[in-house]
Amino acid sequence: MAKHIKPWSGRFFDSLAKTAEAFTSSIHFDVRLYEHDIVQSIAYAKTLVKAGVLTATEAKKITAALETIKREIASGKLALSPELEDIHMNIETFLINKVGEIGKKLHSGRSRNDQVATDLRMYVKAEVASIVDGLNKFQGCLLDLADNNLKVVMPGYTHLQRAQPVLLSHHFLAYYEMLKRDKERFLAVALEADVMPLGSGALAGAAFGLDREALARDLGFAKVSRNSLDAVSDRDFAIDFNSAAAVLMMHLSRLSEELIIWSSYEFDFIELSDKYTTGSSIMPQKKNPDIAELSRGKTGRVFGNLLGLLTTLKGLPLAYNRDMQEDKEALFDSVDTVKAVLSIYVEMLATMKVNADVMKAAAKKGFLTATDLAYYLVGHDVPFRDAHAIVGKIVAFCEESNMELEYLSLKQLKEFSDAFGYDATRVLSVESSLANRDITGGTAPHRVKEAIKRARKELLHDQA
């Protein structure tokens, strides 16, 4: 392999130790920035023509060579070298090898500090678009599940104890709302990343008369950075990406937990497809929800990426420090993890079987309409706290008698309060309880249908 001369070797007498070279190289992970770096360099060449640094002919040769380099990296024809430290120096070296001395002009006024900051922002904008697309598909899957299970009743839980009956569709719509907020967070990250640092140089700004506003337009940025020191050292957008990813993974981890519980023998609310479960190497009967478990487990690594990046940046003085090389792996890993989980999760949910009869049977046990009975008393001038105590005694009676609330007679109810009338027993059914939640955001069937319709319209707008 030919020995590469470092671009900064002029003031050094000794070559960098091989161990130090390996330790400082980032090419093994920042290679994924190569397209953004080349697109940026092509636009920068155009800007240098306006600034009088390059001629139009030189820029044309540089642009053609960069396009060729992009294709050759994609095909694997060009071998990236760790000796050249990073993707920027690899591409610059390839360029000089192709066009000679004029290739050395491209870095005029540019530093790897503003170069990598620009690449990362371009990368984040592109990945946010991909993740938002994945979130749209996930939300669509949830709406399909809600549509297909409109008549399925299940117990709603607090403290993992049966609380009140809800529609399974209503439950799925809760996750739709979580993902809606996640989408808004990621879109906010894209807006924050939509600021171009290029032209900031190493820290003080470029010495050439660069038209940064035109350069930003060429690269698809809405704004240019307003302070060169901040521009090269700012990684808030990467932190916010990791933060949005962490919240999303927290939501998916909660869903994973529910699917894991629901698919257990004790619950039997759902059955996950064989395609998305695994068996045991020792116990023949096992069917393990590994996709859900791994999704839950991968949440920890995304949380760790956020904390790691915050810790890396917390003590850095302005402007750029080599510590900031550590920003990429945390960002890249969160991108890969989120995209992988979103993709496999949609496949798993689309093939999931709902055991509607089991869910409904569970909703009929555990005194889930006790609150409705208390509300009945409130409607007959009994203060809520008194009504609560009365119904609590009724539940205790039912437990001792091994019976459910809906089987109580009016005579039995009157033993606890004279406020119970002929219509009291009507509120004890699961169906009555659902119908009574006829309020915006409630689980009444027609409210849930309205929510699905509204969400469909909203999702179509988001996808437009």
pLDDT digits (tens, 9 = 90+) for 280-329: 889 988 999 999 999 999 999 999 999 999 999 999 999 988 888 888 99
* Structure confidence by residue, pLDDT tens digits, 351-397: 999 999 999 999 999 999 999 999 999 999 999 999 999 999 999 99
Residue among 75, 159, 281, 461 flagged as catalytic: 159
The band of 109, judged by pLDDT with boundaries at 50, 70 and 90, is: very high
Same domain, residue pair 249 and 126: yes
Same domain, residue pair 330 and 399: no
- The answer to the question of residue 455 being in a domain is no
Same domain, residue pair 68 and 130: no
Q: Tell me the three-class secondary structure of the chain, residue by residue.
A: CCCCCCCCHHHCCCCCCHHHHHHHCCHHHHHHHHHHHHHHHHHHHHHHHHCCCCCHHHHHHHHHHHHHHHHHHHHCCCCCCHHHCCHHHHHHHHHHHHHHHHHHHCCCCCCHHHHHHHHHHHHHHHHHHHHHHHHHHHHHHHHHHHHHCCCCEEEEEECCEEEEEEEHHHHHHHHHHHHHHHHHHHHHHHHHHCEECCCCCCCCCCCCCCCHHHHHHHHCCCEECCCHHHHHHCCHHHHHHHHHHHHHHHHHHHHHHHHHHHCCCCCCCEECCHHHCECCCCCCCCCECHHHHHHHHHHHHHHHHHHHHHHHHCCCCCCCCHHHHHHHHHHHHHHHHHHHHHHHHHHHHHCCEECHHHHHHHHCCCCCCHHHHHHHHHCCCCCHHHHHHHHHHHHHHHHHHCCCHHHCCHHHHHCCCCCCCCCHHHHHCHHHHHHHCCCCCCCCHHHHHHHHHHHHHHHHHHHC
Same domain, residue pair 263 and 277: yes
Lowest mean pLDDT among 22-31, 58-67, 229-238: 22-31
Residue among 9, 15, 264, 280 flagged as catalytic: 280
- The CATH code of the domain that includes 391 is 1.10.40.30
Same domain, residue pair 125 and 270: yes
pLDDT at 9: 62
- The answer to the question of residue 4 being in a domain is no
Would you call 41 a catalytic residue per the annotation?
no
Average pLDDT over residues 206-231: 95
Same domain, residue pair 99 and 142: no
- The CATH code of the domain that includes 54 is 1.10.275.10
Give the number of domains in the chain: 3
Report whether pLDDT(1) > 70.
no
Report whether pLDDT(25) > 90.
no
Query: What is the overall mean pLDDT for the chain?
Result: 94
Domain final residue pick, 56, 80, 108: 108
Average pLDDT over residues 142-159: 97
Report whether pLDDT(401) > 50.
yes
State percent of the chain over pLDDT 70. 97
pLDDT at 19: 74
Same domain, residue pair 262 and 340: yes
- The answer to the question of residue 216 being in a domain is no
Same domain, residue pair 197 and 286: yes
Average pLDDT over residues 270-286: 92
- The answer to the question of residue 392 being in a domain is yes
- The answer to the question of residue 12 being in a domain is no
Lowest mean pLDDT among 316-325, 396-405, 441-450: 316-325
Q: What is the pTM of this model?
A: 0.92
Report whether pLDDT(445) > 60.
yes
The band of 5, judged by pLDDT with boundaries at 50, 70 and 90, is: low
The band of 211, judged by pLDDT with boundaries at 50, 70 and 90, is: very high
Same domain, residue pair 119 and 245: yes
- The answer to the question of residue 214 being in a domain is no
* Structure confidence by residue, pLDDT tens digits, 167-188: 999 999 999 999 999 999 999 9
State percent of the chain over pLDDT 90. 86
Give the residue numbers spanning the domain of 283: 113-147+168-203+226-355
Average pLDDT over residues 11-35: 78
Same domain, residue pair 63 and 193: no
Would you call 280 a catalytic residue per the annotation?
yes
Average pLDDT over residues 102-114: 94
